[in-house]
Every structure is written in structure tokens, then in C-alpha cells.
Structure 1
Amino acid sequence: MGPGQCIIAGLRTTGSHRSVARCCGVDVHVSGIDGGRVARWRRSEFLRHILTLLSGTAAAQLLMLALTPVLSRLYSPEAYGLFSLYSSLVATVTVVAALRYDMAIMLPKHDADAKVLKRGVTRLIVAVSIGATLVCGIASPLIADSMGKPELAPWLWLVGLSIFTLAEISALTYWLNRRSDYKAIGINRVLQSGGTALAQLAFALGKFGGVGGLIGGTLVGQGAALLTLRHKGRDVRSGLDESQESIASLFSRYRKMPLLNGPNALVDALRTNGINLIIGVVYSQSLLGQFYMAWKLLEVPLGLINGALAQVFFQRLAVMERGSMFAFAKSSVFRSAILGVVPFALIYWLSPWAFPVVLGEQWTDAGLIAQALVPWLFMSLITSPISTIFVVTETQHLMLAHALVYTAVPLSLLFFLKGDIVTNLSIVSLAMAAILVVFTAMALWVGHRFDHQADSKQTAVGG
């Protein structure tokens, strides 16, 4: 999980006791929590939720891995390069299509209010998607020519549709998360990943390959996942008249979502997708395809290990006693490092050999790029869970400052460095790893300061 994101899983409790967690500057009321119940919850229901999510993610990733060696032989690096440019445009807009109000679906005390908020989120997504379709479609020749890829122009008319499916999937996932329907979320991940890969395979075998097959297959997979989620979350469309709140009043109540999380999310999107754009424009379409494949496959161990850790960390923070945050953050850093050291060591040593063997000889550069990216992604594994500490302590301004540096460094290096892309990416990877070391120290300092302030207040009251 990157800066600017927070996910609350499983905060569905009952009873007369009440505690208050902080999320993005908003009080989240959590009923029925005491020490004994929290302990039992962590041992049973909570772990079942995490295992359900993890099993869905694992199944989706394994299915994708099984089909990738086939797809890598049916689609060229150039096709994947064009697809990466298209996906970068889509992802940059998608992350702010709902102005981050989709995250707020988790927060209202009453389901009826959350349903009204979800309706408002969908309206925002529709408006942004229509606007993106018109802008990217009408200006498609200009956009494609500016990237030096005129052949991408016809496909830019589909950008709005891609934005809608992805953003609406995200909003419905937050609703299902609120309802603790983790089985549906897990099934959706498998359906989206597997459906996309199978559709891309069908397009290629049907002689409709190239970037069109990759984009079309992705839309088919996302569309199938969206229809499934709409069926599973159909209760979100009923009972809205039970709420006393309007969309405008709920947007006003949770206005800190776009104000605090929006900038971080946008900067993160600009970094990730800006790297793709620079590689595609400054280097070559083929090398962008190689980078895309390396990053895509390296995200598998990162996602499997990190997804559950990030949710566990935020969940623990939501009910944690003040005074123990630093110790917990430090243990999280140590645990993530231990879990990641063996997988990433294997990736470093085996990637140059494994990529051309498994994917085909045309993917030799992807193996070298994967090896170069290991330091960066290993540190990402360590820092992603503890990034939520800035949300809980309401110090998002520090996270935003870090995000700006974290974005400027790789974009500048890739733009100004000349020569071999593997060497340049090795330099970028080491620089990003160093920045994440600083981020880790900053997160631990924030946790220590938070605990110390609590101790000071208790001492003052006692005095």
C-alpha cells in the first residue's frame, strides 16, 4: 500500500462499548471493542478475513503467472509497451476519479449513509469517465503524437471506459469491505486477473493481437469483474431513503479525503505512470514493454507478502493503545524484511536466467531490468505497511513531502541519464531504496514522537 491510501478491513462490531479510531483525520466509531474481544477477534474472525483476501490474491496471481509465458510469446514487447502507455493514462486519472471519496464508504456509522455516499461516488466516476472519453478521444492524435506513438490514437477513445470499470470496481470493493464480504472480494480478484488473461489469449488466438488484444482483453476481464461485484453488492442500491443525509452533506463531512489523501494519491500515480511515459518516449517502445513485464512479475511476491501485512498493520493501529506505536512499527519493519529477504534474493540471482527461459528469448532485457529493480522493491515491501502511520497520526504533510521527492528523483534520473537503460534503472533503484530508508526512519520517528507526546500529556495530568 502506497502513501495516501488506507484500508480498514473487518471493523464490523456490535455491543455497547465504544472506541474511536482515526482515519484520514476522521473519527471512525468502532463499537463493542474491549481488550478480551480484540484478542479473540485477532485470533479468529480477523485472521479468517486476511486469509480469505490473501487466498484470493494468491489464486489471481498464480493464474496470471501460469498464462504469462503463453501471452509473452503471442504479444511482442512493442505491443506491451503501447499497452503500458495506455494503462498509464488510465491509472493516472482513475486514482482521483472519485476524488478519494470511495475510501470514505468505510466510515459512516450507518449503512444507509454509506449507500448514499456510494451513489455520489458513482456519479463522480461517471462524470470523470465521460470527460476523459471526450478529451482523450478528440485529442487522441495530439496525445499519441506527443508520446511518439501515433498508432495508439484509435485506442484512446476507450480510456474513459477503462477508467469507469476500474474506479467503480474500487468503490464496490470498499462497500463489500465494509460489509465484511471478503469472499466476494477474493473471487473478484481471481475473476478480474484470470478473465483478463484468458480474454487476451482469446484475442491473440483469434488473430486480433497487438495492443488492441491487450486492451480489449483487459476491458473484458474488468467488465466481468464489475458485473460480478454489482451482483454481490446489489444491496448498496436499496434502502437509500433511510438516510437523513444528502450526497452534498456527506461529501462535506468527509472533505478531508480529497484534501489530505488526494494529493498523495495523485503524486504516487504521476510517479508510477510518469516512469512508463518517460521510458516509452525517451528510450523505446520495446524497452517499455520489457520494463512493464519485469515490473508486472515482480509485483507478484510484493503483492502476496505486502497485501496482508498492510491491512494487518492498519487494523492494529486502529485499536492500539497510545504509547506502543513505535515498538509496533519497528517490529513491522523487521518482520517485513525477514519475509522478503529470501524471495527477493532469489529474484536477484535468478531473473537474468529465468525470464528468457520462461517467457521467451525476446524477454532477456526484462530479466536484467528485474534484477536492477530488486533493491527498490525490497524497500517498498518494508515501507508500505508502515506508511499508514502517517494517516493515523495525522501527519500526511510529511508523507506528501516525501512523495514529492520520491516522484521527482526517478523521473529526473530517467530523463537526464543517457545510455543503457539497465544501468540507468540500477542507479534509479538504488536511489529510490535510499529514499525509502529515510522514509522508514521518518515513520519510526513519527511513531516515537506520537508515543512521547502521549507520555508527556499523561505526566502533565498526573502532576
Structure 2
Amino acid sequence: MIAMERLNANRFLKNFAALFSATLFAQLINIVASPVLTRIYSPEEFGYFSFYLSVCALLIVYTTGRYEFAINTVKSEEESQQLFKVVFVSSILFTVLLLAVEQLFHDPVLRLFKLEKASSLLLYIPLTLLVMGISQGLNYYLNKHKEFGVLSKGKVLRSSVTSGASILFGWTGLQSVGLILGNVLGYVVSNMYQTRIKKIGSLFDFRQYDFPLLWKTAAKHKHYPLYNSSSAFFDNLAVQAPVFILMRFFSEAIVGFYSLTIRVAAMPISLISASVAQVFLSEVAELHAEGKSFLHVLKKVLMLLAGIGVLPVILLVVAGPWGFALVFGEKWRMAGELSQILAFGYYAKFVVSPLSVVFFVKQKVKLLSLIQGIRAVSTLSVLWISSVYLNIKGVVFVYSIHELLFYSLYLFFIFNISRDPGHTRD
């Protein structure tokens, strides 16, 4: 028994190390490229790009229907392949639908978010969602088969292509569109690599699709689009709310400063956190399926994340403004000042967010949806009200305090349902 636990622990650490090292390297590429990008692109252009990313992050949950999360929970290879195909078809259908909706509400959206100078970015959102949807499906399909090496190389490849292409396109004078095209190209190349290296191109061959069976599979797992999509939408809305509110009440330059803190500070720890979440999901899903407690794994991962996140927080608080001005140019000092305030909120998210996969393993999707719905409403309310009465630093301070409080409550619920031995769906 003890030997088996040690084996599982070693396997977890090995898989985590593979994804962690690759994610760290991928983020080093982004960080190295960032000083070049900030001298090619203006804060305003970064602001528009950040808005585009926020919209994509918000809509991706409906693009795939969240069916990718079911891939890891089914036992048969046939059903996991059917679920991947559901993700692919759903991504295509949603992309077409979004294009139609954009044509109907094009001008009102531009006026609401002051996008008249960057109207073309709306055209790239459906394309981005399609390649992101495919990437989501591939990530969870490869995760099920514990292909962490392929996942790791895909992360590094995507980061390399995105950064290189963004610099190249920026030199040609494409403005914020250069950042968008670099992002899309990164997804495309990574998806092609993972598909080719694992020889799973047949998953994209419509001639081999049994659409009645796909419909049956989608219906079987309908709680993901019905409940988890809404849950994830509210969760992403809470995360992306600062971009939307700042774009509405302040300027695209302010959004650009905020987006650089995300790119340099929040994104690296978030992606490291995501790597932990993938390995953690694989481990706890297996233990839960065997009827075993995974509370010891939860505690171990919590302590691991808490330790990893300390150093980045200290660096941001102590040297944020000075570091941003030195590395990215004096015009970006404000981004460093914002990162000082946001550091503790980032830390709370880094430590707690990966553990939320427990809700899927324990099939507490409705509870998760309720929690995240409340968070979305409270986040929007806090940001909207503070933006009316406070300056940008005051708004960011209030937002960071809100994040700390929410993730503390989130962690309480995670431990509470992890102690519950029941297997019933909520």
C-alpha cells in the first residue's frame, strides 16, 4: 500500500515536472519577447489586443460546450474519441454562428467598447475560437493518454511561434492585428504538431464521423454545456471583467498597462497553475474512480503551489515599477505599479484555481456554477462601482482585495466536497 502511494506520488511529480518545465520555458520565451514587443507595439495596441483575448477567453466555454472535460472521465477509447469529435464539430458550428451574430450587431459593439479604430479585430475572434477549441480538445485527449511530453512540446512550440510571429508582423506595421495573427498562428502550428506526432489526423476526417452517435454522446454528457459552460462563462467573466470595465470607463492605454501585467506576471503563474491542474485532474480522477480518497493529494498540491508562488509575489511587490520600466521602457512604469497591487490576488488564484477540478471529479457542477455566478456578479459590481468613484489604482486595489476574499471561500468549498465520500451527482 505504501509502495503504491509512493509510486503514485513519483508519477505525479514526474508528470508535473514535464509540464511545469515546458510551461516555464514557454513563458521564458514570452518574457524574453515582451521587451521587444513593448517597443514595437504601443500601450493602446496592447489594450486592443487584450480586449480581443478577453472576448475569446469568455466565449471559448460555449465554443466547445466544455465537452473536453468529459474526455478524461470516460473509460473507453471509443467514447473519448467521440467526445473529441463533439468538441471539433461544436467549435465549427459556434464559429459560424458567431460570424452571423457579429454581422448583426457589429456597429453597436464597436460603439459600446470604443473599438472604432480597431474594428477589424472582431473578424479574427471567430477564427481564434476555432483553433482554440481544437487546442482544448487535443489537450484533454492527450491528457487522458498521459502524453505529457507531447503536451509540453506543444506549449513550447506555440509560445515560440506566437512570440516570433508577433515580432515579425509588428515590424511590418500591422499594429494590434500583428499580435492577433501571431496568437492564431501559434495555436495552428501547435495543433498541427500534436496531431501529426500522435498520428490522430483521423479524428478530423468527417468521412469517419457517425453523426447520430455523436449526437447520442453529446446528449449523454449534456450537463457539461448545460451547467458547466455557464459556470465557466461566469468564472471567465469575473477574470476578464477588468478589461471590459477598464475599456468602458478608462482608456485603451490603461487596458494596455493592465494587459502587460497579465502577460508578464499573471500569465506565467496561471499557465504553471494550469499544468498542475491537468496532472492533478488525471490523478484525482483515477483515485476517485477506484473509490479512494484523494484528500492527501489535494493537500500536497496545495502546499506545492503555495511554495512556488511566493517568490514571484515578492518580486512584484518589491521591484514591480522599477522592473517594468527597466525591461519594457519608461512608458510602461504604470504597468509595474499596477502589478504591485495585483500581486496578492494573482497569488491566491495561482494557489487555489488548479484545485477546482475537484468539482468535476466529484460531479458538483451545479454547485460550481452557483459559486462562479455569484463571483461574476460581485466582481462586475465591485469594478463598476469603484470605476465610477475611484482612480485606476483605487479600482485595482479594490479588485485585488475582492480576489483574495473569493479564493479563500473557493478553497473552503474545495476541501469541503473533497472530504465528502459520496459519489452522487449534485
Q: Normalized against structure 1, the TM-score is what?
A: 0.82
Which of 257, 277, 302 in structure 1 is aligned with 2:244?
277
Distance 1:35 1:251 in 2: 40
Q: 1:337–1:38: structure 2 CA closer, same or farther, 3 Å change rule? A: closer
Distance in 1 separating the partners of 2:23 and 2:182: 20
Contact 1:290–1:363 (CA under 8 A) maintained in structure 2: yes
* Deviation of 1:439 (Å): 2.0
One of 359, 369, 385 as aligned partner of 1:390: 359
Alignment of 1:225-374 (within 5 A): 225-235=190-200, 237=202, 246-303=213-270, 305-318=272-285, 319=287, 329-374=298-343
User: How many angstroms does 1:168 deviate by?
Assistant: 0.9
Larger Rg: 1
Inter-partner Cα distance in structure 2 for 1:433 and 1:366: 20
Q: CA deviation at 1:422?
A: 1.3
Which residue matches 1:85? 51
Select which of 108, 114, 121 maps to 1:148: 114
TM-aligned CA distance change 1:199 to 1:130, over 3 Å: same
Evaluate the alpha carbon distance shift between residue 179 and residue 337 of structure 1 in structure 2; reply closer, same or farther with a 3 A threshold. closer
Once residues 125 and 19 of structure 2 are traced to their aligned partners in structure 1, the CA distance between those partners, rounded to angstroms, is 29
Q: Summarize the Cα distance change of 1:94–1:422 in structure 2 as closer, same or farther, 3 Å threshold.
A: same
Structure 1 unmatched ranges of 5 or more: 1-33, 455-463
Q: What residue is the counterpart of 2:399 in the other structure? A: 428
Contact 1:102 1:170 in 2 (8 A): yes
| Residue matched to 1:186 | 152
Q: Which runs of 5+ in 2 are unaligned?
A: none
Identity of aligned residues (%): 23
**2:62 aligns to what SS in structure 1?**
coil
Residues 202, 208 of structure 2: 8 Å contact kept: no
Q: Which amino acid aligns with 1:432?
A: E
1:119 corresponds in structure 2 to 85
TM-superposed deviation, 1:75: 0.3
Structure 2 counterpart of 1:214, from 167, 175, 179: 179
Match of 2:189 among 204, 216, 224: 224
The 1:120/1:395 distance shift into structure 2, 3 A limit, reads closer
| 1:335-375 deviation per Cα after TM superposition (whole angstroms, max 9, x unaligned) | 43233223212211111110111111111110011111112
Q: Is the 8 A contact 1:389 1:447 kept in 2?
A: yes
Q: Name the SS for the 1:387 alignment partner.
A: helix
C-alpha contact (below 8 Å) 1:115/1:237 kept by paired residues: no
1-structure distance, mates of 2:248, 2:211:
51
Once the two structures are TM-superposed, the CA of residue 332 in structure 1 deviates from its matched residue by: 4.1
Structure having the larger proportion of residues in helix: 2
Report the Cα offset of residue 323 of structure 1: 8.1
Q: How many Å apart are 1:281 and its aligned residue?
A: 1.2
Aligned equivalent of 1:197, options 163, 166, 172: 163
Q: Distance in 2 between matches of 1:125 and 1:177?
A: 20
Over 3 Å counting, the alpha-carbon distance change for 1:330 and 1:50 in structure 2 is closer
SS at match of 1:100: coil
CA RMSD of aligned residues (A): 2.7
CA-CA distance at 1:123 after TM superposition:
1.3
TM-score by length of 2: 0.89
1:24-80 deviation per Cα after TM superposition (whole angstroms, max 9, x unaligned): xxxxxxxxxx87556435424x44332222222111111111110110111000001
Structure 1 distance, partners of 2:56, 2:271, is: 24
Contact 2:72 2:144 in 1 (8 A): yes
SS at match of 1:55: helix
Amino acid at match of 1:366: A
1:128 to 94, 116, 131: 94
* Greater CA drift, 156-165 or 175-184: 175-184
Deviations 1:186-207 (A, max 9, x none): 1211121111111111112123
- How many pairs does the alignment contain? 417
